[in-house]
Amino acid sequence: MMALLATIFTIPVFMTGHQHAVLLLPLCLSIAIVYKTTRCPNVREIPLASLVLWVTIVAGMYAVGVGLWALSLLFA
């Protein structure tokens, strides 16, 4: 069992660009939930506020990625 756990951290898993983009979604969602949990005074506000922040973070990160991609095409 320990050897199996050790291989998870020692052998890299190769992923495509699309898989990286999909893994961005739960990471941003967890960040949004934790942030809004610490900021919202009412517990009932957390789900909607987290969803709005999650969409904002994801859209912003994809916009920055597209912008950097366009700059790399422009200057390459």
More confident position, 5 or 41: 41
Q: Which of 5-9, 31-35, 41-45, 55-59 has the lowest mean pLDDT?
A: 5-9
**Rounded to an integer, what distance in angstroms lies between the CA atom of residue 25 and that of residue 36?**
16
What is this structure's pTM?
0.79
Q: What pLDDT digit, counting tens, does each position of 23-40 carry?
A: 999 999 999 999 999 999
* pLDDT in the model for residue 36: 97
**CB 40 within 8 Å of CB 46:** yes
**CB 57 within 8 Å of CB 74:** no
**Mean pLDDT for the chain?**
92
**Rounded to an integer, what distance in angstroms lies between the CA atom of residue 35 and that of residue 56?**
13
**CB 43 within 8 Å of CB 29:** no
